[in-house]
Amino acid sequence: METPTHPSSAAQPLVSLRNVGKRFANGTLALQGMSLDIGEHDFISFLGPSGCGKSTALRLIAGLTRISSGDIHWPQAQSGQARGDRDLGFVFQEPTLMPWAKVFDNVWLPLKLSGTSRDAAAPVVEQALEMVGLSRFADVYPRELSGGMKMRVSIARALVTRPRLLLMDEPFAALDEMTRIKLNNDLLSIWREHRFSIVFVTHSVYESVYLSNRIVVMAARPSRVIDEIRIDEPYPRGEAFRTSSRYNEHCTAVSQSLHGALHGLDIDH
């Protein structure tokens, strides 16, 4: 069994957020004062009630939305370069696949956009499909796949550029419980083998405790971080962990913190 895989405190973070805030043009303050270091091989969940700014924080890290205040820094990026495009992949709640294109071509897309031919991309696309267990489905159209399989394609597409950071916005929220558990387990295996970092948005205390080594608890009105909880439990995590008393204790602690978030109270850990 492995010990928890946490970045060493001496290592430079992959991404560093300092006092990050976002106010939209209509005046909504969607996030304020968020500071966070995302380390190498971290699995961080953003957990909180609807409207607390989880998706906004993810989009700010991805550079899809511009920050209004504070700073987001990639300390390991070469000077003069904010971040390499290949440093992150994004998985949305909906798989957002092109319905007219086969699975292979959907996964090839990010490489195609950066100028890699279909032939040159083939080995990498095949590898990405293998990672998510879909090698045999390269030649089918998305409509022929189940919801869980479509999400696997979406994950393969996000990983095909070998990003160091994978951002996931409630990726499994629309899936049934069994599919969700299977995808949780498969995501953990891929993350452990390939050692990238993940920031994962979820509403589920159970999912965040099962997956993450760090949980960032957020509150709404105003949207902000109120707590960070470490889940110092070894990986791999499987059914034994999911049914353990320690898992239950972590879930209770995280629920209490979230309860504080819902009532605007900070809980001391």
Ligand X SMILES: Nc1ncnc2c1ncn2[C@@H]1O[C@H](COP(=O)(O)OP(=O)(O)OP(=O)(O)O)[C@@H](O)[C@H]1O
* Cα three-residue angle 92-33-24, rounded to 5 degrees: 60
Q: Is 223 a binder of ligand X (CB under 6 A)?
A: yes
The minimum distance between CB 203 and ligand X, in angstroms, equals 6
Q: Which two tokens stand for residue 5?
A: 């895989």
The minimum distance between CB 113 and ligand X, in angstroms, equals 24
Map residues 8-47 to x or -, x wherever contact with ligand X holds by CB under 6 A. ----------------x-x-x-x-----------------
Q: Are 197 and 6 in contact (CB under 8 A)?
A: no
The minimum distance between CB 54 and ligand X, in angstroms, equals 4
Stretch that binds ligand X, among 50-58, 100-108, 172-180, 257-265 (CB under 6 A): 50-58
- The residue among 21 and 53 lying less far from ligand X, judged by its C-beta, is 53
Single-letter amino acid, residue 15: V
- The residue among 52 and 205 lying less far from ligand X, judged by its C-beta, is 52
DSSP string for residues in 59-122: HHHHTSS--SEEEEE-TTSPTT-S--GGGEEEE-SS----TTS-HHHHHHHHHHHTT--HHHHH
* Residues whose CB is less than 8 angstroms from the CB of residue 261 and which lie 6 or more positions away in sequence, other chains included: 48, 49, 52, 217, 218, 219, 220, 226, 227
- The residue among 50 and 243 lying less far from ligand X, judged by its C-beta, is 50
Which residues 52-111 are close enough to bind ligand X by CB under 6 A? Answer: 52-56
**Distance spanning both ends of the chain, measured CA to CA:** 28
- The residue among 7 and 70 lying less far from ligand X, judged by its C-beta, is 70
Which residues 129-158 are close enough to bind ligand X by CB under 6 A? Answer: none
Residues that bind ligand X (CB under 6 A): 24, 26, 28, 30, 48, 50-56, 223
